[in-house]
Amino acid sequence: MALESLDTVVLSRWQFALTAIFHMLWPVLTTGMSIYLVVIEGLWLKTKNLTYYHHARFWSKLYILNFGIGVASGLPMAFQFGLNWAPFSESVGDFFGTLLGFEATMAFMLEASFLGIMIFGWQRVPPVMHWISTICVAFGANLSTFWILSANSWLQTPTGGVFVEGKFRVQDYFQAIANPFMVKSFAHMFFATLETSLFVIGGISAWYLLQNRLPNFFTKSLKVVLVMALVIAPLQVFVGHLSAEQVYHYQPAKLAAMEALWETVPAGTPADWSVIALPNEAAETNTFEVKIPALLSYLLALRPKLDTPILGLKEWAPSDRPHLVGLIYYSFRLMVAIGLYLAALAIVTIFVWWRTGLEGDRLRNYQWLWWGWIFAGPLGYLAVEAGWIVRCVGRQPWIVYGQLRTAEAASDLPPQVVLFSLSGLVALYTIFFFAALFFGSRIIQKGPNVALPIPGQANAEELEIRIKLAQHQPDRRPLDI
């Protein structure tokens, strides 16, 4: 019994981790990119400059590819709470289920419904209506982020009710939704999706610039990205800092794991910040470590010495503290490093823009900078995944922090069955991941169609691409074909 149920818990955890890590890759881009599309389409409506319209058409091709895989991989997310975590679903369903229901009714339906118009409706609705559809898509996507982050934050800091006999009874819904982690976590994720998308768009634009392919077109997208990134990237570093601070206050065991801190740092003594460490869980110490004196104190309170102690991992019994300390420690550092790199890149590029005006041949002297942008393209994803690993692996052994243990929350299924679904998902996800890379790079290779006439006029590309939706009934609007 013991061994069997352990296996099921481990397999269910693997399945959840894998589904979440894979699923997250796609909505991260579509959520952030939707805001970029609202901006670029708004610029088109405002300036009537056709380039912005072509940008909207080009980037939305990547959008739809990512959206499809996002929906597909989101389905197992939506169902596995019941499939693999039935005791959890029953225990917190009153609240947690309500929020997932909200996410679907308020947010996802909005996004999915208007997406049809956003992608296929260029010839069917007036430009302003199209822009409103794009705004609805962006609003829906970001509202999804809000509900998901509220639900996840509640798992980190459950408030707004009490646990009676293992079942959560809500006393105040608004307090539960606005739990202590919610605001900063949502802000952190909101900026993360936007920042990741901006640097993906920027990275792809830089790739074109490096090849000197459509340089005027892609300096345009790069400029929009730059203006947005210059605000977002430094702000994200700051919001990230606030998020780490709330971990310090609410989840000291997670903070200790993020810092690989085994011994408590008493109040009134400086806390060092470790740069590199080799955590050894068996020996409850770091076999090797490089530290910067007092930096952690400065980071947490802007003072050389803290008023309250920072608890070390040894304060908790091994069964009550997070494991995989090394993973949490390095994921955190990776995320921080990427956040700093992206902010620095935005600032450096602004100087180059100031020097060159980002026009013409002078840009070619800055190959190193374009490589820096291409390199930055995938980094946002890495930072997001690393951040979620810190957040959710660091929460262990709890599924609802301090209230419900992960091991008690898993469905009692035969391990072979979970293994079956797990291996099925691994196989599919692997294929989809590489296929998406392949087709995504093909869209990029092919490049934008800058000959596309504005909506309402005879459309050469669409004519070439075979099928048209034509009106059956006589229609006063201009004919598509």
Partner 1 sequence: MEPSPLAPLEHFLPQVWFFILGLFLFLYILLDGFDLGIGILSLTSSNERRRNILMTSLGNVWDANETWLVLMGGSLFGAFPLAYATILNALYLPAVIMVVGLILRAVSFEFRENANNKRVWNLAFGIGSFLAALGQGFAVGTVFEGIKVDAAGHFAGGIWDWLTWHSLLVALTLIQGYVLIGSTYLIYKTTGELQQTHYRTATIAAWTTFIGAVLITITAPIFHEQLRAQLFQPPLFYIFAAIPLLGVLLIFLLLRSLQKREEVMPLVWTFLLFLLSFIGLGFVIFPNIIPPSVTIYEASASPSAQVFMLIFVAFLIPIMLAYNLYNYLVFRGKVVA
Within positions 163 to 222, which residues make up the interface with partner 1, using CB under 8 A?
A: 164, 169-170, 173
Q: Does residue 108 interact with partner 1 by CB under 8 A?
A: yes
Q: Which of 115, 182, 239, 300 binds partner 1 (CB under 8 A)?
A: 115
Q: Which of 337, 443, 444, 450 binds partner 1 (CB under 8 A)?
A: 443
Q: How far apart are alpha carbons 160 and 156 in whole angstroms? A: 13
Q: Does residue 122 interact with partner 1 by CB under 8 A?
A: no
Q: Residue 82 or 309: which CB sits closer to partner 1?
A: 82
Q: How far apart are alpha carbons 324 and 105 in whole angstroms? A: 37
Q: Does residue 126 interact with partner 1 by CB under 8 A?
A: no
Q: How far apart are alpha carbons 125 and 122 in whole angstroms? A: 6
Q: Which of 421, 448, 452, 459 binds partner 1 (CB under 8 A)?
A: 421
Q: Does residue 127 interact with partner 1 by CB under 8 A?
A: no
Q: How far apart are alpha carbons 123 and 469 in whole angstroms? A: 10
Q: Does residue 434 interact with partner 1 by CB under 8 A?
A: no
Q: How far apart are alpha carbons 174 and 299 in whole angstroms? A: 32
**Neighbouring C-beta atoms of residue 13, cutoff 10 Å:** 20
Q: Which stretch binds partner 1 (CB under 8 A): 77-85, 200-208, 222-230, 321-329?
A: 77-85
CB 286 within 8 A of CB 256: no
Q: Cα dihedral angle (337, 343, 349, 354), rounded to 10 degrees?
A: -150
Q: Which stretch binds partner 1 (CB under 8 A): 76-84, 198-206, 233-241, 310-318?
A: 76-84
Q: Residue 176 or 228: which CB sits closer to partner 1?
A: 176
Which residues, numbered 4-63, are part of the site for partner 1 (CB under 8 A)?
A: none
Q: Which stretch binds partner 1 (CB under 8 A): 213-221, 322-330, 341-349, 424-432?
A: 424-432
Which residues, numbered 388-417, are part of the site for partner 1 (CB under 8 A)?
A: 411, 413-414, 417
Which residues, numbered 85-104, are part of the site for partner 1 (CB under 8 A)?
A: 86-87, 89-90, 92-104
Q: How far apart are alpha carbons 465 and 123 in whole angstroms? A: 14
Q: Does residue 309 interact with partner 1 by CB under 8 A?
A: no
Residue 307 CB contacts under 8 Å (≥ 6 apart), including other chains: 267, 268, 301
Q: Residue 69 or 206: which CB sits closer to partner 1?
A: 69
CB 384 within 8 A of CB 338: no
Q: How far is the CB of 347 from partner 1 (least distance, A)?
A: 36
Q: Which of 6, 45, 50, 75 binds partner 1 (CB under 8 A)?
A: 75
Q: Which of 82, 309, 397, 402 binds partner 1 (CB under 8 A)?
A: 82
Residue 237 CB-density burial (10 A; 0-12 exposed, 13-18 middle, 19+ buried): middle
What single-letter amino acid sits at 280?
N
Q: How far is the CB of 65 from partner 1 (least distance, A)?
A: 5
344: three-class secondary structure by DSSP = helix
Q: How far apart are alpha carbons 221 and 218 in whole angstroms? A: 5
**Continuous H helices in 259-396:** 295-301, 325-356, 367-376, 379-393
Q: How far is the CB of 413 from partner 1 (least distance, A)?
A: 6
109: three-class secondary structure by DSSP = helix
Q: Does residue 430 interact with partner 1 by CB under 8 A?
A: no
What are residue 280's DSSP bridge partners?
Answer: 285
Q: How far is the CB of 463 from partner 1 (least distance, A)?
A: 12
